[in-house]
Amino acid sequence: NTSPDFAVGEKWDDMKYGGDGKLEYDQEEHRSGLKHWIEEGGGGVLTAFDFTTKGILQSAVGGELWRLKDSQGKPPGLIGIMPGNAVTFVDNHDTIRPNSWAFPSDKVLLGYVYILTHPGTPCIFYSHYIEWGLKDSISKLVAIRNRNGIGSTSSVMIKAAEAELYLAMIDEKVIMKIGPKLDIGTLVPPNFVLAYSGLDFAVWEKK
């Protein structure tokens, strides 16, 4: 008999695409499939790789950041309905393969800005961390997550989700933004200070 503290499984189903070959906005069936799979396995410490979030996120960073808010105003992946049992990731050893399902290579860091500031249990791909020159950037994001106690069930308040801007507040302690739009108006209160920024992203912490 074993009593694991953490267990993760993989259920990789196809997502819904439209006739134009683009990912459909509504992926409720996909994430519900993950949720039911976890529940059938007993729930508890059992988690699943959040393929729903990965699929939506890698489409969203291509100028479709509106995808990152579901019809209920929540994150559209498994983290929006069962965050404590979701393992988020940008790529893994299968998806990174040629002609597979790789995250856009020039947007990989944006993927980490998202998963490392959001609920779920984020998983960092070894190749991205060691071989892609992203170690410093990812480490800074991990430090922000740890410093502010962001965890798998942290709260998310999505304040903007449009084509070129996604901005969210996590646990009322951290605000993150991805997308090329620079004009964010008054979405970031004056009691938040910039913690880290780069091309098309910024992260603020509460003073």
Domain membership flag for residue 49: yes
Domain membership flag for residue 53: yes
CB 77 within 8 A of CB 86: yes
Domain membership flag for residue 100: yes
The average pLDDT across 36-59 equals 97
CB 86 within 8 A of CB 115: no
What does the pLDDT read at residue 97?
87
CB 205 within 8 A of CB 146: no
Helix (H) or strand (E) holding 106: none
Domain membership flag for residue 81: yes
pLDDT tier at 1, thresholds 50, 70, 90: low
Q: Which amino acid is at 125?
A: F
Please report where in the chains the tokens 């170690």 appear, as a residue.
135
Domain membership flag for residue 193: no
Domain membership flag for residue 160: no
In the chain, how many domains are there? Answer: 1
Q: Quick: pLDDT tens for 8-38.
A: 999 999 999 999 999 999 999 999 999 999 9
Q: Quick: pLDDT tens for 116-153.
A: 999 999 999 999 999 999 999 999 999 999 999 999 99
Domain membership flag for residue 85: yes
pLDDT tier at 2, thresholds 50, 70, 90: confident
Give the residue numbers spanning the domain of 106.
7-155
Convert 67-98 to b/e letters by CB count within 10 Å (16 or more is b).
bbbbeeebbbbbbbbbbbbbbbbbbbeebbee
User: Model's pTM, two decimal places?
Assistant: 0.97
Q: What's the CATH number where 111 sits?
A: 3.20.20.80
